[in-house]
Amino acid sequence: MANPVRDTLLGQLDIAWALTRYHLEGLTTEDCLRRPASVGLHVTQDAQGQWRAQWPEHEGYDLGPASVAWLTWHLGFWWSMVHNHSFGDGTLTREAIVWPGSADAARAWIVGLHDTWREAITRLTDEDLQSSARTRWPLTGKPFGDIVAWANVELMKNAAELGYARFVLAVPPT
Confidence of residue 2 (pLDDT cuts 50, 70, 90): confident
pLDDT, position 4? 96
CB atoms within 10 A of CB 155: 24
Sign of the torsion angle spanned by Cα atoms 106, 166, 23, 154: positive
Q: Could you give the domains of the chain?
A: 4-35+64-170 (1.20.120.450)
DSSP for 60-87?
-GGG-PPPHHHHHHHHHHHHHHHHHHHH
pLDDT, position 165? 96
Confidence of residue 79 (pLDDT cuts 50, 70, 90): very high
Gap between the Cα atoms of 43 and 30, Å rounded:
13
Q: Model's pTM, two decimal places?
A: 0.96
pLDDT, position 172? 80
Mean local confidence (pLDDT), 112-141: 97
Distances from the Cα of 74 to the Cα of 3, 29, 65, 95, angstroms:
31, 16, 13, 12
